[in-house]
Amino acid sequence: MPVQRTRAPGFGSGITDEHDAEPSAAELAEIEREWPLIAAELDLLDAEITALSAEGCVSKLDRRRVRRAERRVLEVGRELAAEGVTALPGEAVA
C-alpha cells in the first residue's frame, strides 16, 4: 500500500502566518541595538561551556574568563537599560 504524503500546514498553500514574515525595519533596528548584549551572552555561554568541559578541575584562567564574561553581560545590560530599551533578550514583552 503506498504511503500518502501530506504537506506541513501553510507549506505551498500561499498562506503565510506571522512567523513566516520577514522582520520589519523596526525589528531589525531593535536587534541591531541589542546585539552587544547578545554577543556578550554568547561569550558567557562559551566561557561556561569551556569551564564545564574542562577535564579534572577548572583552571583559574577559566574561572576568570567566566567572571569577565558575567561582568560584561551586566555592563552591556546596564548600558541598554540606560538607553531605554524596554525588553532585553529572554524577557517577556508586556
The three cell numbers of residue 8 are: 506541513
Separation CA 3–CA 10 (nearest Å): 21
Average pLDDT over every residue of 5-14: 54
56-70 pLDDT, tens per residue? Answer: 788 999 999 999 999
The three cell numbers of residue 27 are: 525589528
pTM: 0.65
Q: Identify which has the larger pLDDT, 75 or 91.
A: 75
Average pLDDT over every residue of 19-31: 87
Q: Identify which has the larger pLDDT, 80 or 90.
A: 80
